[in-house]
């Protein structure tokens, strides 16, 4: 399984925002780290 570098930042509104460095345009946001990781795993499988 390939590995990716992910940048996670906290937005002004309190949401966590992540970006996959190797996949331009691959961004997601969530209220918690658990939700963010779950969304990233789902998106990377599709």
**Number of structural domains the chain divides into:** 1
Mean pLDDT of 9-29: 94
Predicted confidence (pLDDT) at residue 45 exceeds the cutoff of 80: no
Mean pLDDT of 24-30: 92
Residue 43 has a pLDDT of 62
Residue 44 has a pLDDT of 56
Look up the domain containing 27 and give its range.
6-45
Looking at per-residue pLDDT, the higher value among 30 and 46 belongs to 30
Residue 1 counted as domain residue: no
Residue 30 burial (CB count, 10 A): 17
Q: Is 22 exposed, middle or buried (0-12, 13-18, 19+ CB in 10 A)?
A: exposed
Residue 36 counted as domain residue: yes
Residue 23 counted as domain residue: yes
Residue 25 counted as domain residue: yes
Residue 13 counted as domain residue: yes
Backbone angles phi, psi at 18, to 5 degrees: -125, 155
Residue 12 counted as domain residue: yes
Global confidence as pTM? 0.72
Average pLDDT, the chain: 88
């Amino acid at each position: 399984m390939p590995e990716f570098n992910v940048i996670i930042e906290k937005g002004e509104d309190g949401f966590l925002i992540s970006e996959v460095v190797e996949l331009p345009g691959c961004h997601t946001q969530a209220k918690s780290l658990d939700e963010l990781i779950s969304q990233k795993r789902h998106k990377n499988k599709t």
